[in-house]
């Protein structure tokens, strides 16, 4: 490992007992520095410019590792391709049915709402999340012009 001081991500990994590898750091940074909820493939494509030998398997493997350690989330969508985010603060999503763009939103009025008591008999509810879907501005524009 380099002599330089540990940055925030390295500390995060260290605290979890995760080995600090270049690939792992870059994958995590790529996610943390983006707001478009990228796919594994997209992160792979992005990192290849600076790490030409990284493999897609490594991207997938580490996305799962990070997810298992609660450092990133897989977004709940209606597509087959997985989408990820590093934004761990509770929030919600707007998803465009056409271009699949995902936008983070906050909705405090919803956050205050407690799920009905009887849901608890189902089991142990850990998260509550809203997904709003529709057609985004850009896609509405494209529709009109055709």
Partner DNA sequence: TATTATATAGGAAAAATTATTATTTACAAG
Partner DNA sequence: CTTGTAAATAATAATTTTTCCTATATAATA
Contacts with a copy of itself by CB under 8 A lie at 74-78, 80-82, 94, 96-97, 103, 105, 107, 109-110, 113, 115-116, 119, 121-140
Is 41 near DNA (CB under 7 A)? Answer: yes
116: how many CB neighbours lie within 10 A of its CB? 7
Residue 14 interacting entry, from a copy of itself, DNA, none, C-beta within 5 to 8 Å by type: DNA
Nearer residue to DNA within complex by CB, 120 or 133? 133
Of positions 36, 57, 138, 142, contacts DNA by CB under 7 A: 57
Taking the complex as a whole, the smallest distance from the CB of residue 75 to a copy of itself amounts, in Å, to 7
Specify the residue for token string 């906050």: 106
Q: Which residues pair with 39 in a beta bridge?
A: 83
Report the candidate in 108, 97, 100, 106 with the shortest Cα–Cα distance to residue 133.
97
Q: How far is it, in rounded angstroms, from Cα 38 to Cα 137?
A: 20
49 near DNA, judged by CB under 7 A = no
Residue 13 neighbours by CB distance under 10 Å: 21
């Amino acid at each position: 490992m380099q002599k330089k001081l540990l940055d925030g991500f390295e500390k995060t990994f260290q605290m979890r007992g995760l080995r600090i590898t270049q690939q792992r750091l870059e994958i995590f940074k790529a996610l943390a520095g983006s707001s478009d909820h990228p796919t594994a493939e997209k992160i792979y494509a992005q990192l290849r410019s600076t790490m030409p030998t990284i493999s897609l398997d490594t991207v997938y493997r580490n996305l799962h590792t990070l997810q298992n350690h609660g450092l990133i989330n897989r977004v709940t969508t209606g597509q087959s391709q997985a989408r990820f985010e590093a934004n761990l603060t509770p929030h919600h999503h707007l998803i465009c049915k056409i271009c699949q763009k995902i936008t983070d939103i906050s909705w405090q009025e919803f956050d205050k709402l407690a799920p009905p008591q009887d849901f608890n008999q189902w089991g142990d509810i850990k998260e509550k999340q809203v997904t709003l879907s529709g057609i985004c501005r850009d896609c509405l524009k494209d529709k009109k012009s055709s």
